[in-house]
Amino acid sequence: MATLEATHAGSMPEPTGLQSVRRRLWRLKWGVAAGVVLALIVASAVLAPSIAGHDPLRVNIRHRLVPPAWMSGGDAAHLLGTDQVGRDLLSRILYGGRVSLVVGIAAVSISSTIGVLLGLAAGYFGRRTDWAIMTAVNIMLTFPFVLLALSVIAVMGPSLRNMILVIGVAGWPIYCRVVRAQTLAIREREFVLAGLALGMSHARIVFRQILPNVISPIVVIATLQIAQVIILESFLSFLGLGIQPPTPAWGNMLGEGRIYMLNSWWIATFPGLAIFLTTLVINLMGNALRDWLDPHMKL
Amino acid sequence: MKRFVGRQVVQLAIVIVGISILSFSILHVIGDPVVLFVQEGAPKEEHERFRKLLGLDQPVYVQYWRFASRAVQGDFGKSWYGDMPVLDLVMERMPPTIYLTFAGLAVALLIAFPLGTLAALRRHTIVDTFCTMVAVGGQAMPIFWLGIMLIIIFAVQLRLLPASGYGTWQHFLMPAFTLGAFLAPITMRLVRSGLIDVMSTEYIKTARAKGLGERMVVAKHAFRNACIPVITVLGLQFGQLLGGAVVTETVFAWPGVATLTVEAIRNQDFPVVQCAVVLLALIIVTVNFIVDLVVGLIDPRVRVGA
Rounded to two decimals, the ipTM of the complex is 0.81
Q: Is the CB of B140 less than 8 angstroms away from the CB of A283? A: yes
Q: Which residues in chain B touch residue A262, judged by CB atoms under 8 angstroms apart?
A: 156
Pair (B66, B105) in one structural domain = no
Pair (B162, B234) in one structural domain = yes
Say which CATH number the domain at A285 has.
Answer: 1.10.3720.10
Residues 6+ apart with CB under 8 A from A120: A179, A180, A183, A206, A210, A211, A214
Structurally, chain B folds into a number of domains equal to 2
Does residue A7 lie within any of the structural domains?
no
- Mean pLDDT over A69-95 rounds to 83
Does residue B14 lie within any of the structural domains?
yes
Pair (B244, B124) in one structural domain = yes
Pair (B53, B137) in one structural domain = no
- Residue A34 sits in which domain range? 29-293
Does residue B204 lie within any of the structural domains?
no
Q: Is the CB of A141 less than 8 angstroms away from the CB of B236? A: yes
Q: Taking CA B3 as the corner, what is the angle to CA B2 and CA B6, rounded to the nearest 5 degrees? A: 90
Does residue B80 lie within any of the structural domains?
no
**Looking at A20-29, B58-67, B276-285, which range is the least confident one?**
A20-29
Pair (B108, B235) in one structural domain = yes
Prediction pTM value:
0.84
Pair (B110, B187) in one structural domain = yes
pLDDT band at residue A7 under the 50/70/90 scheme: very low
Q: Is the CB of B19 less than 8 angstroms away from the CB of A15? A: no
Closest C-alpha to A11, from B115, B125, B123: B123
Pair (B11, B154) in one structural domain = no
Using CB atoms, pick whichever of A139, A240, A276 lies closest to residue B15. Answer: A139
- Residue B182 sits in which domain range? 101-196+225-267
Does residue B96 lie within any of the structural domains?
no
Does residue B53 lie within any of the structural domains?
yes
Give the span between the Cα atoms of B247 and B259, in whole angstroms.
9
At residue A117, the pLDDT reads: 93
Give the span between the Cα atoms of B236 and B292, in whole angstroms.
9
Pair (B23, B110) in one structural domain = no
Q: Is the CB of A276 less than 8 angstroms away from the CB of B145? A: yes
pLDDT band at residue A3 under the 50/70/90 scheme: very low
Does residue A6 lie within any of the structural domains?
no
To test the contact with chain B by mutation, choose from A155, A180, A298 the residue with the greatest count of B C-beta atoms within 10 A, namely A155
Pair (B67, B105) in one structural domain = no
Pair (B29, B105) in one structural domain = no
Pair (B53, B111) in one structural domain = no
Share of chain A above pLDDT 70, in %: 91
Pair (B15, B136) in one structural domain = no
Closest C-alpha to B186, from B114, B136, B248, B143: B136
Does residue B8 lie within any of the structural domains?
yes
At residue A116, the pLDDT reads: 93
- For A149-197, the pLDDT digits (tens) are 887 887 788 888 888 998 898 889 989 988 888 888 888 888 888 888 8
Closest CA of chain A from B95, distance in Å: 18
Closest CA of chain B from A41, distance in Å: 16
At residue A1, the pLDDT reads: 39
Does residue B153 lie within any of the structural domains?
yes
Does residue B12 lie within any of the structural domains?
yes
